[in-house]
Structure 1
């Protein structure tokens, strides 16, 4: 956010120089998250898809930033702006770009033609959820799995049909993307005292049946995505790093305070951008917690995801961005 303009910008990776900038004359701001957009742009070939906090979806040329098409998703779905803004990121699948709208009567999730911006389908009835949906084949059906306010839903990727829905506790917002696992399993987690559930989906006589394999309070993913390595999930449990077994939800360990930061899995290591702006390296192993080091990088509250390209690590928050060059062995 730059004043009254919400911007999508392209920067030179090495110098940080702005190569192009696209502006929308809109502004979203609230006390907890501050001003500006929340969603991560999606790059597909020579197109960039950006979702603004007020609900404007833009398709931009990757090289120039020229606008190819624009859709006001809030207006299209007939919904109001969520209190924390439209925060779920757009996702490209084939010739479609998928966004969360949060409307009822089949308007919760939208698929737009990525070339023209025309609506291909809409589906689901859940209110807005801040988590980005994930797509995959589960129980023999390619589907989008979305965590929304009050429910977890499976929506047919072909036409937007609601395949299944499970109630989810809703004391407050849910922000973390579900994970699709082998064996037709779906792992979902949220914070504020809720925890995690492992579902198994299977084809039934009248559609898709859903069983709960386990529930656990051991992983409460509030803002931070969790990652899977072998038979354990690693994530921030209300700000403390934890390792939890995938088979039963039991805790292997819980150590290391990183606040509401973000983490990446890089081979057998966890690369963590902590809420205080420091970067840490931790082994992804269930038998013990091993932190190899932590360095201060950014100042101020840091909720943004880091991005890794080869040996280049880009970290940022609302005030600044820093490029780190990692030593690879």
Structure 2
């Protein structure tokens, strides 16, 4: 029996909007879109456009709209639509995907599924922890125990999958991505942990890789915390698409077509088995920041099977890493959530180039346009800085007077930000 029930909530003008959307929606995702978590290529980089660098709650805001409840999931922007997850109640019993007009912020539609039982989470991780994904024809959203769902651009249901119960004391936070004709999902954390591919048109399971869980899903065999909240990252190797995903004990590269494990790199941390952020990749090097102030490591992605011996460098006792950084031109830019900082590392050696302290912690990920980076901290202040390995080069600080754990979306020259109370468009 399905654990969720689909309910429809729409704007009052939904009928009119649907008629209009038949004419304006449903195209392919374009180069100017930000179509899934950390952008269309899941690397934190905007493909085109010049973006604003200064704003406040009252200046350079094109529009802002209230959201029903707080959430850590980030917005995406596709074909003139802004999609974001939310919940309708503090217990997360009604979980929604909302669609807004990117030009004026008007709500186009809302689709909600309901749960009969409240699932556990941490107070810092409200429900609606995931980010939707779209290919320009459909949008997919992961509501954890409330299922995986696909809608067309007008909000019409296409398919739904009940994948079971996903229970963890800290809640969920991974996001689906779309690679070609399939949806790739990391289902962790909890007792049931798997990476799976689903047909984007039908929702059919194409393959599933189950990752061993050596504890109860919340603590490992040594009694230390465990879990994965990491979103997969697509790469190309020898003309084949792979996805790299950080699980609780190791990083995997899975063949997108078959689900076969291409290689794995074992991650051992004295702090527990925790993967919050996603791997970041440039060329043949992969960098991963283990959670709970665990180690940061870089390794070469060569060969097959166990490649743990290909570690290039490792740094212990790092800042808490929740959001995901970026690699640009041989340097790693990352964020800390205790100590609170922005940091630059040399990709080849791991040597710290510079550190910049910040008042608030960072839970969101870095977004980049050309050589300009955007990092929103938990106070809702977006720090804009120039990517430079020599020193921290500040451009602006932009407070919105509302807390945030989400990542900015950069699309068609505008920046879309999710705070606990609102969704914002900055121009």
Whether the aligned pair in 1 keeps the contact of 2:122 and 2:170 (CA below 8 Å) is no
Give a deviation string over 1:249-285, Cα, whole Å, max 9, x none.
Answer: 0000001315124321111111121211012211110
Question: Which range is displaced more, 32-41 or 235-244?
Answer: 32-41
**Which has the bigger relative contact order, CA under 8 A and spacing at least 6?**
2
For residue 306 of structure 1, the aligned residue among 399, 405, 408 is 408
For residue 391 of structure 2, the aligned residue among 281, 284, 288 is 288
Whether the aligned pair in 2 keeps the contact of 1:133 and 1:145 (CA below 8 Å) is yes
Query: How many Å apart are 1:221 and its aligned residue?
Result: 5.5
Match of 1:143 in 2: 242
Match of 1:153 in 2: 252
- Please state if 1:225 is matched with 2:336: no
Query: How many Å apart are 1:219 and its aligned residue?
Result: 5.4
Q: List runs of 5+ in structure 1 lacking aligned partners.
A: none
Separation in 2 of the partners of 1:31 and 1:197? 28
Query: How many Å apart are 1:150 and its aligned residue?
Result: 1.8
Separation in 1 of the partners of 2:108 and 2:291? 38
Cα distance change, pair 315–87 in 1 and its aligned pair in 2 (3 A)? same
Whether the aligned pair in 1 keeps the contact of 2:125 and 2:170 (CA below 8 Å) is no
Q: List runs of 5+ in structure 2 lacking aligned partners.
A: 1-86, 214-226
For residue 266 of structure 1, the aligned residue among 340, 347, 369 is 369
- Please state if 1:68 is matched with 2:158: yes
Query: How many Å apart are 1:138 and its aligned residue?
Result: 4.1
For residue 101 of structure 1, the aligned residue among 187, 210, 219 is 187
Query: How many Å apart are 1:107 and its aligned residue?
Result: 6.5
Query: How many Å apart are 1:105 and its aligned residue?
Result: 12
Q: Which one has the bigger strand percentage?
A: 1
Alignment TM-score, normalising by the size of structure 1: 0.88
Please state whether the residue corresponding to 2:302 is helix, strand or coil.
strand
Alignment TM-score, normalising by the size of structure 2: 0.68
For residue 113 of structure 2, the aligned residue among 24, 44, 49 is 24
Match of 2:277 in 1: 176
Cα distance change, pair 304–173 in 1 and its aligned pair in 2 (3 A)? same
Match of 2:49 in 1: none
For residue 289 of structure 2, the aligned residue among 162, 184, 189 is 189
Match of 2:177 in 1: 91
Cα distance change, pair 224–106 in 1 and its aligned pair in 2 (3 A)? closer
Please state whether the residue corresponding to 1:30 is helix, strand or coil.
coil
Match of 2:264 in 1: 165
Residues paired across the two proteins, number: 316
